[in-house]
Chain A
Amino acid sequence: MKKAEIEFTVNGKKRTLFVKTNELLINVLRNDLNLTGTKYACGIGECGACTVLLEGRPVLSCLTLAVDVNGKNITTIEGISKDGFDPVQKSFLKNAAVQCGFCTPGMILMAKSLLKENPNPTEDEIRDYLRGNICRCTGYTQIIKAVKECANNHNQDK
């Protein structure tokens, strides 16, 4: 398999890599860039654990070819806050929306994306937006609560 040169921005940093043309983004992030916060849990786009933001929109890195992100912007869980914690991260810690933590990066990135699209989502809108992300520990309630609290805080800020 031939390798192709790709240049993309990950968490604000320009990276140039040679990748196989069939290589998946998840493997490049985890193995080549050691960004292991992006999790493998199904490999077929069923669970959402490998979610990353591509140009600010959520994509499943297990179904995305690395060559497809050439020239684009990727944000992983490691890149959502430069110093300290982002409000969504804080809210997840405060509301115990994290148990084993394996689904958490995907959940947080989905929540970030939702709040960007819709700064004040209803509970049903949150549930609908996160329904592709599987969590086996929490039963989702505290995750939904954590996201909702961010929405409310956001409103208070205005």
Chain B
Amino acid sequence: MENKQFIAISKRFDIKNVGKVTGKEIYASDVNIPGMMHAVVLRSPYPHAEIKSIDLTEAEKTGAICISRDDVPDLIYNERIVSIPDKTYKDRTVLPKDKVRHTGEAVAAVAADTEETAFKALEKIKVEYKKLPAVFDIDEAMKPDTSQLYSYVYLGDKKIDIENNIACVRNISVSDIDKGFEEADVIVEETFNVQRIYHMQLETKSTVCVPEADGGITIWTTTQGIHNVRILLGEIFNIPLHKINVKRITLGGSFGSSIQMNSITPICVALALKAKSPVKLVMPREDDIYDHASYPLRTKIKIGAKKDGTLTAGHCKVWVEIGAHNIQAYPYLGCIAGWFASLYKWINIKYEGKAVYTNKTPTCARRGYGSPQINFPVENAMDILAEKLGMDPIELRLKNYVGKGDEFWGQGPTIKSIIRSCGVEEMLVEGSKLIGWDKRIPPSEKTGDIRRGIGVARGFHTSGTGGPNPGEVIDYSGATVKINEDGSVDVVTALMDHGGGTWDVAAKVAAEVLKVPFDKVGIYNGVDTRTTVFDVNTHATRGVYCGCGAVKLAAEKVKKILLNYAATLFKDLPENLELVCNEELGQAVVYPKGLPEKYKTVGEIAKTAQIKSWGTIAYTSSLRQKNCPPCFITYFTEVEVNTKTGQIKIPRVIMMGDSGTIMNPELWKGQIIGAFSQGIGLGYIEEIPYDTNTGKLKCNGFITDFKVLTTTEMPKIDDIKVLPAHTYEPTGPFGAKGIGEAALSAVASSFGNAVYNAVGIRFYDLPITPEKMLKALKEKEEKKDKKE
């Protein structure tokens, strides 16, 4: 482990985005352009229907600008272009050309001077539909005689037929699964279901588009990656990229929902181009709920172990119900295989994955990209296995986890790297001491109406999608670092910050390399695709490891230029100079080694370089990381089940995270606690069921009936312990890995295992609502009565 004194990293600073507490921070929905029009979208009332005709005549008479299928390009695309083109399935156009495939799918759009007049015009659009049978369930969808959403789609440029609504398939085998189960003394085989939920990012998806005089466009939009939005808009509207400028702007939450270009972005562009006027489109919450959801997962898991707890085989069959568009099911299926393969040493692995279309809202990435969905089956199955073996669940995990020196699948089977830092053992051992694991008693010994239980689960996420060899996912970042004429520093990058503090880390990394005080480093919005080099996206927990890796590389090059200039001033060699932070001066200073009193401030050097016309001290990097180190987490959750009401409280939780060097201690904790809140939501209350008669969401798009956790359901401040493992990632910037998605991976699993320890009931389908709990308790009582 590297042990050095940092000037900025790991230190606690106030967060940089001060605009967020003063109301000055501008989000896409806050962008107001003089003379801009307001847009609204007409959405399908049916889950599956042929569009017979669309009549815009009456709507256009109001003076509004209207678009429907004839006004948008024919290009069939995939809104997520993180995967390489050959592995990208494409099934959609800007607006549907022939039929609608889910309730709430955009059919037409209107822009007018005010939102009110736009809505009035929208009411005058006449759409004639021919209703088609709809499917909402994967088993139903895969039957040969069922209504088909697509007859063909494209994989890259290749047209491929779709049969039985199966969007894509992914099968992977390692070694010999049959032999693995033959060697097993104990086998566990169960089926689990993790539900689809709504991201509920606070800012609904929004876009503002300004058509420029030269035929180009300027865009402000909610996105996790500005360059991919630009590239895709260029392809769709056939505009050269130098004429498209996407502004980097603060994101009001995303959690994966804006990994792709949002569906409304090209709609807004099409309206603006037709209107020849700036147009703003802010999704109402009711539209946003019909726009995206997280992938659900059904998992049939079978695992085997020898009597001593050594695993011999792991077999997973998974089905994902993707809804009406295949945004990224193929890489998703690959990632699930990777998360499964990298949790424990199964030795022999068989994985069969299928993605199935249904007439529901399209699903897309959500924090963890399938990791919480596969973690729940695996971590439950491990507890079941431990019980069957008569072994402690922690001992079983310690015996079989994938750790240091092992191969890690960071993004499915094509992106792998060797694990070089691992805090799994420390977290399992220390966490169990903190929670009082040795005092944990089996559910059979518990009585009374209120029953407490403790559960453990562990998980991880990749840090980026880099590997020794490039795989199916595009992964590189870039940054410009520049020393200004007063010694302050600008960091210019397309890297997005979800709110987890990625920009603060970028500033810290530049400060650390250049020994400049943190408050002298600026990282501001106002940059865009025109002024930054490519950064793929802030997804895959890659912000710190990859994005800030690129900042570090740029800063190191800048340091070389700086020392070269300083050497000229000192009439010495760069290698004979020292660069340090002088806190009294609030500046970085350079001096010949051994002669600190002879210092010159970096401001003086930069100013001299300017006056003498030597040039700007700046560098632009482009970096692909060649590893994808896992950031591990281990959670110990205590639950309190009220057996009379079915309600579950969380009296206590210990959360341990292994992120290597912790860059922002407070925001790191915040990421973990925030993920805990989302994970308990997934485990306990969140779901978005459909009325299959109407094809509409039962909540009708209103969050009145889609509840997420509030302040009152969280454990108290002193009952939440968040602690880091003591690791150092040798390939990461200053030893750092990620945390964001890892933090969510095992929350619902530890919750489920704790519920089992409290009441002795294993739940296989999430969420474990009070209703489900009461029903299960009643069934358990009845069984017991029968036995007696």
Binding site for B on A (CB under 8 A): 20, 30-31, 34-44, 46-47, 49, 76-78, 81, 85, 89-90, 92-105, 108, 123, 126-128, 130-145, 148
Contact = CB atoms under 8 A, between A and B. Distances in A.
Nearest to A20: B116
Contacts of B697: none
Interface in B549-566: none
Contacts of B712: 127-128, 131
B21 A139 contact: no
Contact of B23 (A36, A99, A123): A36
B680 to A, nearest CB: 9
Contacts of B23: 35-38, 76-78, 105
A41 B250 CA distance: 15
Interface string B683-714: 00000000000000000001110001111101
B253 A96 contact: no
| Among all A-B residue pairs, the 8 with the closest Cβ atoms | A37-B23, A101-B20, A99-B499, A100-B499, A102-B252, A139-B677, A77-B23, A96-B666
B500 A99 contact: yes
A104 B25 CA distance: 11
A131 B202 contact: no
A78 B24 CA distance: 7
Contacts of B200: 134, 136
Contact of A96 (B24, B284, B667): B667
Nearest to B31: A36
Contact of A136 (B30, B255, B285, B670): B255
B202 A47 contact: yes
Nearest to B203: A102
B32 A34 contact: yes
A11 B232 CA distance: 43
A43 B701 CA distance: 12
A140 B284 CA distance: 25
B324 interface: no
B717 A136 contact: no
Contact of B202 (A38, A97, A135): A135
Given A36-B32, A44-B704, A47-B703, A96 B717 contact: no
Contacts of A103: 202
Contacts of B499: 98-101, 137
Contacts of A141: 670, 673, 714, 717, 720
Contact of B21 (A47, A76, A92): A92
Nearest to A30: B30
A77 B201 CA distance: 21
B673 A98 contact: no
Contact of A43 (B19, B255, B284, B714): B284
Interface of B: 14-15, 17-27, 29-30, 32, 116, 199-204, 250-255, 282, 284-285, 498-501, 664, 666-667, 669-671, 673-678, 702-704, 708-712, 714, 716-717, 720
A143 B22 CA distance: 16
Given A76-B23, A140-B714, A100 B251 contact: yes
A43 B135 CA distance: 31
Given A36-B26, A104-B21, A138 B703 contact: no
Chain A CB count within 10 A is highest, among B26, B27, B253, B498, for: B253
A93 B20 CA distance: 9
A97 B200 CA distance: 19
B245 to A, nearest CB: 22
Given A100-B202, A101-B250, A134-B202, A93 B18 contact: yes
A102 B253 contact: yes
22 contacts: A30-B30, A36-B29, A36-B30, A36-B32, A37-B23, A37-B24, A46-B702, A77-B21, A85-B21, A92-B21, A93-B18, A99-B500, A100-B250, A100-B252, A100-B254, A105-B23, A108-B21, A130-B710, A138-B670, A139-B674, A139-B678, A148-B717
A128 B710 CA distance: 9
Contacts of B26: 36
Contacts of A105: 23
Contact of A144 (B22, B253, B711): B711
A128 B711 CA distance: 7
A139 B664 CA distance: 17
Contacts of B30: 30, 36
A99 to B, nearest CB: 3
Contacts of A101: 17, 19-21, 25, 250, 252, 499
Contacts of B678: 136, 139
B677 A140 contact: yes
B252 A139 contact: no
A98 B714 contact: no
A123 B720 CA distance: 14
A134 B664 contact: no
A78 to B, nearest CB: 4
Contacts of B716: 123
A108 B708 CA distance: 20
Contacts of B285: 41-44
A137 B21 contact: no
Contacts of B498: 99-100, 137
A130 to B, nearest CB: 5
Contacts of B714: 127, 139-141
